[in-house]
Chains A and B, each alone.
Chain A
Amino acid sequence: GAVVSQHPSWVICKSGTSVKIECRSLDFQATTMFWYRQFPKQSLMLMATSNEGSKATYEQGVEKDKFLINHASLTLSTLTVTSAHPEDSSFYICSARVMTGGYEQYFGPGTRLTVT
């Protein structure tokens, strides 16, 4: 099946710093990528939808200036958490939708962010 990778798999950073998370579709092209956040014992929450070459669409309540999303190519999207705070500590998951055929969506392994 299609593979989506994320890097890093985990990161610890200090409050006030910025962290970039990469999401890559390894063996397919994805016009649309999704970024989710998951808190412990909770389901995935959609943060934003990004389409290649255009600005991301953010869900209500998600600060676009804090969570910068760039989808520069058909195989790469990045999420940058700017001026991170401890409450940003979470599990961030990306997902990519196949460009052709149906609308299969494949998930990355996730990135565990801890802000100290």
Chain B
Amino acid sequence: KNEVEQSPQNLTAQEGEFITINCSYSVGISALHWLQQHPGGGIVSLFMLSSGKKKHGRLIATINIQEKHSSLHITASHPRDSAVYICAVKTSGSRLTFGEGTQLTVNP
């Protein structure tokens, strides 16, 4: 079992839909990252969380430390949101452990 599991693996939505991507982890962490990777590969760091909730534009990230679970929400989704979304947790030292990613496709 991976230390970081994301669901779903693939998600297709229509423009305007509300989207949720989930991340569960089985290890103690000091922080959790949500990353976005576009076709072509470049990675953008969306959020770093250690507790509670953060919001940036149409993106919202939440984390529940007790339940070892985080969610990334996208409101009013748009085709340009199509990308792979990756959850990564910071465990001991400097190491990040990555989830397998969620491929999101938003159709117009």
Interface: A26 (CB within 8 A): no
Tell whether, in the assembled complex, residue A106 and residue B42 are in contact, meaning their CB atoms are under 8 Å apart.
Answer: no
B residues near A44, Cβ cutoff 8 Å: 86, 88, 98
Candidates A103, A104, A112; contact of B45 at CB < 8 Å: A104
Q: Chain A residue with minimal CB distance to B103?
A: A41
Given contacts A93-B41, A105-B33, A109-B41, contact A46 B96 (CB under 8 A): yes
The winner among B41, B48, B88 for most chain A CB atoms within 10 A is: B41
Interface: B90 (CB within 8 A): yes
Which B2-50 residues have a C-beta within 8 angstroms of A? Answer: 30-31, 33, 35, 41-45, 48
Tell whether, in the assembled complex, residue B95 and residue A107 are in contact, meaning their CB atoms are under 8 Å apart.
Answer: no
Which A1-58 residues have a C-beta within 8 angstroms of B? Answer: 1, 32, 34, 38, 42-44, 46, 49
Taking chain B's interface residues, is the majority helix, strand, or loop, or is none over half, making it mixed?
strand
Q: Chain A residue with minimal CB distance to B99?
A: A43
The number of residues on chain A lying at the interface, defined by a beta carbon within 8 Å of a beta carbon of chain B, is 22
The number of residues on chain B lying at the interface, defined by a beta carbon within 8 Å of a beta carbon of chain A, is 20
Interface: B94 (CB within 8 A): yes
Tell whether, in the assembled complex, residue A43 and residue B90 are in contact, meaning their CB atoms are under 8 Å apart.
Answer: no
Q: Which 7 A-B pairs have the closest CB atoms?
A: A109-B42, A107-B43, A110-B41, A43-B98, A44-B98, A91-B41, A43-B100
Residues of A within 8 A of B (CB): 1, 32, 34, 38, 42-44, 46, 49, 91, 93, 97, 102-110, 112
